[in-house]
Amino acid sequence: MTREIAVLGVGMHPWGKWGRNFVEYGVVAAREALADAGVDWRDVQLVCGADTMRNGYPGYVAGATFAQALGWQGAQVSSSYAACASGATALSAARAQILAGLCDVALVVGADTTPKGFLAPNAGERGDDPDWLRFRLLGATNPTYFGLYARRRIEMYGATPADFARVKVKNARHGFSNPYARYRKEVTEEEVAASPLVSDPLRLLEICATSDGAAALIVSSLDYAKSRGIVDPVRISAVSTVTPSYPNTLIDMPSFSTDSAYGVAPPERGFRDSIAHAAYEQAGLGPDDLDLAEVYDLSTALELDWYENIGLCKPGEAERLLNDGDTTIGGRVPVNPSGGLGSFGEAVPAQAIAQVCEVAWHLRGAAGERQVEGARVGLTVNQGLFGHGSCVILRK
């Protein structure tokens, strides 16, 4: 039995700071995906929503929220929370139902309205919430971690601030032609270096913002796609939602300590390496098969880490890959042709879905000025708070 499902439609609401209810954005994205798929809303059998959450506590029940907003029609629903990986978890739920034969066609949707500034905890005393504690006890916003990861890369591999700036220059160039991106302006290395220092060594232009936005997918069984005359759809070949293996020896938000490897040897692969590896195993593919990748660039330095985590190069070689032009459009494996989170900002429940939308457009040959020519296989990867990994592999 095939483990693949078809991507029939994709849709997005532009990222920005619109100040409206997140449901409005999700409805726009969902209707765009339905129109793209040529599927009537009343024919959708399952709605998988990616939840908007704050600090471990439910914000909205997304599946039913979007089903109501689109008009009650009896569809089954599910709601998924995995922080920044929520969209991929929602997609995984839809894929499982389709492959089990419990439904033929599903809507996957996520949307967010974010507060001004960096993400911060809600009011109230929650001493058992590790995410709340790192804000309350240490004052550590997300960029604190981004800066620590960047300094680690400098110490271990000799990365330089110029390397980090070049990631921003590349992604800004990519995002310039993306109509859904929030920031559509090319920048120079000098402009990046002149922007305010936020979390040493990272500057304002090297850290993603928080944004409003939405993304949606219509996915189906291959038989359903064929019944609608779609014989060669974009296919989802793998969805990985792995968690870390003990001992986890690299700090991940919201922690400030790691597991000890004194008495137990580290696993064969660290957490971030394992995310894409699991997807490669599902799909029967490897890094050499990739034509493009959308990675989770919370900061420019973190993008370089992901090059290594998804197997594009060995540890310590990411800077060479970047500086040789391999990861720009026209290079060997373009990374973040959408412009990445640096061009979009974080709309947490939507961003993993948006990554899939971007890869699907490229595999269709419908990405416009940012098209990766001849793209046949693409990968998305990100990491959610509390140990949620996510990787999706698509092929044509």
So what's the pLDDT on residue 58? Answer: 45
pLDDT, tens digit (0-9, with 9 covering 90-100), for 190-202: 999 999 999 999 9
What DSSP string runs through 335-352?
A: B-TT-HHHHH-B-HHHHH
β 105-112/212-220 pair status: antiparallel
Residue matched to tokens 């944004």: 211
Report d(CA 141, CA 101) in Å as an integer.
43
Task: Round the average pLDDT of the chain to a whole number and report it.
Answer: 95
pLDDT, tens digit (0-9, with 9 covering 90-100), for 243-255: 999 999 988 888 8
In 3D, which of 175, 185, 227 has the Cα closest to residue 340? 175
Let me know: does 108 contact 350? Beta carbons within 8 Å. no
For 338, the token pair is 């959408």
**Does residue 156 carry a pLDDT above 70?**
yes
Sorted by where each starts, the structural domains of the chain and their CATH numbers stand as 5-117+212-235 (3.40.47.10), 130-205+237-395 (3.40.47.10)
The most confident of 114-128, 137-151, 212-226, by mean pLDDT: 212-226
Q: Mean pLDDT across the stretch 288-307? A: 98
So what's the pLDDT on residue 300? Answer: 98
Q: Mean pLDDT across the stretch 111-115? A: 89
**Does residue 92 carry a pLDDT above 50?**
yes
Let me know: does 241 contact 221? Beta carbons within 8 Å. no
pLDDT, tens digit (0-9, with 9 covering 90-100), for 65-85: 999 999 999 999 999 999 999
pTM listed for this prediction: 0.96
So what's the pLDDT on residue 55? Answer: 43
Residue matched to tokens 């069984």: 221
pLDDT, tens digit (0-9, with 9 covering 90-100), for 328-369: 999 999 999 999 999 999 999 999 999 999 999 999 999 999
Cis peptide before 254 (omega within 30 of 0): yes
Handedness of CA 108, 113, 118, 120 (dihedral sign): negative
**Does residue 35 carry a pLDDT above 80?**
yes
